[in-house]
């Protein structure tokens, strides 16, 4: 059983959703980003997406874009990302990298997969890679027992959802609104439908990223998904209130995923 | 080679689809619409009608007799895309994609633009078809191509200056992609070059091939044989791909792409990925790319907004590797000199992008002569991709043709334009 499988089994027993937190490495500094990721695990985040800063993050809204740019301006390198994985994995929380493809491609994806494994990472989420372009990447993951996580979207056909369901390990990441990342005051109604469509195609757990920023919203999503993924809100917390604010928000979200609103 | 790409959009090891899953359904829909349109006589007749009666095709092939001495005496023929409606080759692609947009039942169109020529062409087609039009343009480019910003707004398009990253074409493309991910159900993204995820490199090439099809026949009619070389500038690579493609099987014809050499390729400050980049992924496709050791996209330098882009179309990457086409970097100073030469020897004020091709053509002609070829036997076709009205301000500064007072005045004009909604 992989670390992610164990996490989702435990959450099922506890009758709750898992909380997945995202922060980019090197924002506002390397040390502060690792401190914040560690703090959010202590405050109740179950799994961490370590963000690999990239010059052209197509899926990101203004908050995460600016954080990536600031991290790069501060001199963050690929080696720092791998170093951060090692530090975060030491907390015991399953640690994945969320990374755009070109930096991985440039590093050499086989060599990068090995480095990720060596650092204690459990897998990678690749927002601009689709299974059709990834046969060799999948082989590399399989050989090292890493979990490849591809995304589904509201526009995905059932056939494509089935492909992702067969390809992924760990969970299926449902980017449940059309558009870029960012906190949203109102959660779209489409998320519930998308999760239902994913469940019709696969038994893998479904994680939902949809712009959640409050404990209340986390509770709402926990009512129909297996994991609640939070990114922009944590970045904003870190930016405006430092590590303490990240700790507070993570605790609020952790309470949310433990009080699923089922209707 | 004309079978490229394969059914999943790969040109050898290049191309493909490196995109968010959210876009795959729209890309599939577009692929199907394009493949159906390609063999639909109603669609092709309608496109031909627009190209003829609206865009002014066929464009002429001009014998540039006085330019010849600058190319070692070789005969230079100009394929006059600058005479097409809106002033560049970009209209060929845009009219095709506008018809596809109508076919797919979409009402809103978005585009990225660097020099503003693709933005102007898109705004034009949207006015003609009655589509809503939003154009993303790097803030730096809205400044150096202010005339085209005004043209787009006059045509009814919304122009959004992009202030992220490098504030040039790369970031305008990022913003257009982000808009598309959000609004893909109602919106078609008219990509302006042979870049982006499958099917765009194929689709844009297919709509630009008309340049090469015409030029090949016109050359046969005029000279009685094929040219020795076909030369074009390469930003994303659409005017080059359009004129190269019908010549791919003609082994005797050299195909030469001229990238932006900026301050000189050897300085590292340029925009010449085929000349000095490595394979990588940007904006949905694998191709040559300017990047650092970590795979972060590198900054580019060029006097030409339309060539100031770190990536290039994937089919060019394949042609580069196979050796069927050769690519070279032309520095800013050399391109500007060629612009001046063309203006004074032929009375044609071309776009700065296009000037890179003339510089490359002169280099090639002289190199052939230096290698012992008889100049009188050499025929070079140069794709004159666009006209230079938009570049008058940049050129006037470069050559010092305006006084300090006049420059200050034109700054005011620009500041005023920048304030407009
Ligand atoms: C006149 C002209 N030529 C060339 C280009 C470069 O584009 P491409 O390489 O796709 O032809 C541009 C782009 O703006 C242009 O305006």
One-character DSSP codes across chain A? --HHHHHHHHHHHHTS-EEEEEEETTSS-HHHHHHHHHHHHHTT--EEEEE---S--TT--HHHHHHHHHHHHTT--HHHHHHHHHHHHTTTS-EEEE--HHHHHHH-HHHHHHHHHHTT--EEE-TT--GGG-HHHHHHHHHHT-EEE-EE-TT--HHHHHHHHHH-SS-EEEE-SSS-----SS--THHHHHHHHHHTT--S-EEEES---SHHHHHHHHTT-SEEEE-HHHHHHHHHHHHHHHHHHHHHHHHHHTS----
pLDDT at residue B411, as a whole number? 52
Q: Does A133 touch chain B (CB under 8 A)?
A: yes
Q: Which of A58, A107, A155 sits opposite B295 (nearest CB)?
A: A107
Q: How far is the CA of B192 from the centre of ligand 1 (A)?
A: 9
- pLDDT at position A186 is 82
Kindly give, in sequence order, each residue whose CB lies less than 8 Å from that of residue B196, ignoring residues fewer than 6 positions away.
Answer: B283, B284, B285
Q: Return the pLDDT at B143.
A: 93
Q: Which atom of ligand 1 is nearest to B115's Cα? A: 14
Position A262 scores a pLDDT of 86
Q: Give pLDDT tens digits for B11-22.
A: 999 999 999 999
Ligand 1, atom 15: nearest CA belongs to which residue? B306
pLDDT band at B177 (very low <50, low <70, confident <90, very high): very high
**What is each CA distance from A241 to A28, A74, A213, A233, A249, in whole angstroms?**
12, 20, 15, 12, 10
Q: What is the mean pLDDT of residues B305-328?
A: 97
A59–B contact, CB cutoff 8 A: yes
The reported pLDDT for the residue numbered B409 is 58
For residue range A134-168, list pLDDT tens digits in order. 999 999 999 999 999 999 999 999 999 999 999 99
- Cα of A28 to nearest chain B Cα, Å: 18
- Indicate the burial class of B415 (C-beta count within 10 angstroms; 0-12, 13-18, 19 or more): exposed
Does the pLDDT value for residue B111 go beyond 70? yes
What value does the mean pLDDT take over residues A229-244?
Answer: 98
pLDDT band at A63 (very low <50, low <70, confident <90, very high): very high
Instruction: Show Cβ contacts of residue B160 under 8 Å, excluding neighbours closer than 6 positions.
Output: B134, B135, B136, B137, B175
Catalytic residue check, B90: yes
What per-residue confidence (pLDDT) applies to A126? 98
Question: Mean pLDDT of all residues in chain B?
Answer: 95
Cis before A158 (ω within 30): no
Per-residue confidence (pLDDT) for residue B410, from 0 to 100: 57
**Is B385 an active-site residue?**
yes
Interface of B with A in 286-345 (CB under 8 A): 286, 289, 291, 293-297
* Protein residue closest via CA to atom 7 of ligand 1: B235
**Strand duo B14-15 + A147-149: pairing:** unpaired
- In this model, does residue B418 exceed pLDDT 80? no
Q: Which of B81, B112, B259, B353 is catalytic?
A: B112
Closest Cβ–Cβ partner in B183, B286, B297 for A55: B297
Question: Quick one: pLDDT band at residue B2, thresholds 50, 70, 90?
Answer: very low
Q: What is the DSSP letter of B29?
A: H
E strands in B25-145: 61-63, 75-80, 108-113, 132-138
User: Residue B408's pLDDT band (boundaries 50, 70, 90)?
Assistant: low
pLDDT exceeds 80 at position B345: yes
Q: Locate B193 and state its tokens.
A: 């070059």
Joined together, the tokens standing for residue A50 give: 């370590």
Predicted confidence (pLDDT) at residue A197 exceeds the cutoff of 60: yes
Residue B331's pLDDT band (boundaries 50, 70, 90)?
A: very high
What pLDDT is recorded for position A185?
83
Residue with tokens 């398009």: B157
Chain B nearest-CA residue for A69: B165
B21 contacts in chain A (CB < 8 Å): 130, 150-153, 155-156, 160, 164, 175
Q: What number is the average pLDDT over the span B95-108? A: 98
For residue B58, the model assigns a pLDDT of 98
**Topology classification of domain A3-257:** TIM Barrel (3.20.20)
> pLDDT band at B406, cuts 50/70/90?
low
Q: How confident is the model at residue B1 (pLDDT cuts 50, 70, 90)?
A: very low
Residue B287 among the catalytic residues: no
What is the reported pTM? 0.96
Query: Which of B371-378's residues contact partners 24+ apart within 8 Å by CB, and which partners?
Result: B375/B72, B375/B73, B375/B74, B376/B73, B376/B75, B377/B228, B378/B71, B378/B72, B378/B73, B378/B74, B378/B75, B378/B228, B378/B229
Taking CB atoms and an 8 Å limit, are A155 and B184 in contact across chains? Answer: yes
pLDDT digits (tens, 9 = 90+) for A92-116: 999 999 999 999 999 999 999 999 9
pLDDT tens, residue by residue, B31-88: 999 999 999 999 999 999 999 999 999 999 999 999 999 999 999 999 999 999 999 9
- In chain B, % of residues over pLDDT 90: 93
pLDDT at site A189: 80
User: pLDDT-derived band of residue B307, with 50, 70 and 90 as boundaries?
Assistant: very high
At residue B415, the pLDDT reads 45
Quickly state the pLDDT bin for A1 (edges 50, 70, 90): confident
What average pLDDT does range A16-42 have in this prediction? 98
| pLDDT for the residue A188 | 76
Cβ pairs A/B, distance under 8 A: 113
Taking the centre of ligand 1 as the mean of its atom positions, its distance from the CA of residue B242, in whole angstroms, is: 11
| Inter-chain CB proximity A106 and B295 less than 8 Å | yes
Residue A187: band (very low, low, confident or very high) from pLDDT cuts 50, 70, 90: confident
B308-334 in b/e burial notation, b at 16+ Cβ within 10 A? bbbbbbbbbbbbbbeebbbbbbbbbeb
pLDDT-derived band at B404, boundaries 50, 70, 90: low
Atom 16 in ligand 1: residue holding the nearest Cα: B117
Q: What is the mean pLDDT of residues B132-159?
A: 96
Tokens of B301: 């330098």
* Cα separations in angstroms, A53 against A67, A125, B200, B232: 8, 13, 27, 36
Q: Is B163 on the interface with A (CB under 8 A)?
A: no
Per-residue pLDDT of B263-301, as tens digits, reads 999 999 999 999 999 999 999 999 999 999 999 999 999
Q: Percent of chain A at pLDDT above 90?
A: 93
């Amino acid at each position: 059983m992989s670390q992610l499988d164990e996490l989702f089994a435990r959450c099922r027993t506890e009758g709750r959703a898992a909380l997945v937190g995202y922060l980019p490495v090197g924002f506002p500094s390397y040390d502060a980003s690792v401190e914040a990721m560690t703090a959010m695990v202590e405050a109740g985040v179950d799994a961490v997406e370590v963000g690999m800063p990239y010059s052209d993050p197509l899926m990101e809204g203004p908050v995460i874009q600016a954080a990536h740019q600031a991290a790069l301006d501060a001199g963050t390198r690929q080696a720092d990302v791998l170093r951060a994985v090692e530090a975060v994995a030491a907390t015991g929380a399953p640690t994945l990298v969320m990374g755009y493809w070109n930096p991985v491609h440039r590093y050499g994806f086989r060599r990068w997969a090995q480095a990720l494994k060596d650092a204690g990472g459990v897998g990678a989420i690749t927002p601009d890679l689709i299974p059709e372009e990834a046969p060799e990447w999948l082989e590399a993951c399989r050989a090292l027992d890493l979990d490849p996580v591809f995304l589904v979207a509201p526009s995905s056909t059932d056939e494509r959802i089935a492909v992702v369901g067969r390809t992924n390990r760990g969970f299926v990441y449902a980017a449940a609104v059309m558009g870029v990342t960012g906190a949203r005051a109102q959660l779209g109604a489409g998320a519930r439908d998308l999760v239902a469509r994913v469940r019709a195609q696969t038994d893998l757990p479904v994680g939902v990223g949809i712009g959640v920023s409050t404990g209340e919203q986390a509770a709402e999503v926990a009512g129909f998904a297996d994991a609640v993924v939070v990114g922009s809100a944590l970045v904003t917390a870190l930016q405006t209130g430092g590590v303490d604010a990240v700790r507070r928000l993570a605790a609020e979200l952790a309470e949310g995923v433990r009080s699923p609103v089922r209707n | 080679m004309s079978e490229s790409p394969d059914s999943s959009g790969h040109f050898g090891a290049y191309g493909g689809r490196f995109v968010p899953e959210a876009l795959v359904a729209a890309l599939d829909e577009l692929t199907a619409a394009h493949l159906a349109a390609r063999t639909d006589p109603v669609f092709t007749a309608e496109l031909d009608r627009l190209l003829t009666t609206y865009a002014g095709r066929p464009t002429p092939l001009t014998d540039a007799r006085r330019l010849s001495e600058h190319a070692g005496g070789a005969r230079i023929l100009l394929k006059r895309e600058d005479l097409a409606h809106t002033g560049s080759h970009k209209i060929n692609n845009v009219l095709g994609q506008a018809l596809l947009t109508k076919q797919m039942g979409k009402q809103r169109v978005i585009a990225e633009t660097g020099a503003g020529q693709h933005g102007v062409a898109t705004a034009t087609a949207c006015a003609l078809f009655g589509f809503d039009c939003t154009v993303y343009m790097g803030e730096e480019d809205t400044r150096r191509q202010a005339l085209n910003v005004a043209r787009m707004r006059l045509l009814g398009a919304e122009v959004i200056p992009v202030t992220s990253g490098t504030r040039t074409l790369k970031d305008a493309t990022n913003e257009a992609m982000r808009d598309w991910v959000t609004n893909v159900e109602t919106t078609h993204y008219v990509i302006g070059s042979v870049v982006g995820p499958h099917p765009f490199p194929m689709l844009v090439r297919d709509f630009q091939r008309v340049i090469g099809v015409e030029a090949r026949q016109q050359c046969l009619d005029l000279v009685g044989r094929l040219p020795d070389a076909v030369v074009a500038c390469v930003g994303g690579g659409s005017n080059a791909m359009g004129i190269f493609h019908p010549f791919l099987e003609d082994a005797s014809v050299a195909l030469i792409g001229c990238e932006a050499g900026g301050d000189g390729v050897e300085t590292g400050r340029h925009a010449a990925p085929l000349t000095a980049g490595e394979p990588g992924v940007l904006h949905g496709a694998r191709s040559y790319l300017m990047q650092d050791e970590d795979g972060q996209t590198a900054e580019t330098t060029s006097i030409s907004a339309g060539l100031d882009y770190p990536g290039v179309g994937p089919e060019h990457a394949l042609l580069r590797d196979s050796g069927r086409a050769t690519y070279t970097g032309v520095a800013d100073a050399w391109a500007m000199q060629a612009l001046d030469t063309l203006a004074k020897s032929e009375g044609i004020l071309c776009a700065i992008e296009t000037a890179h091709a003339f510089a490359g053509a002169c280099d090639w002609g002289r190199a052939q002569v230096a290698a012992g070829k008889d100049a009188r036997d050499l025929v070079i076709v140069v794709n004159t991709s666009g006209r230079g009205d938009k570049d008058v301000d940049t050129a006037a500064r470069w050559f010092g043709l305006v006084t300090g007072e006049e420059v200050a005045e034109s700054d005011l004009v620009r500041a005023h334009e920048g304030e407009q909604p």
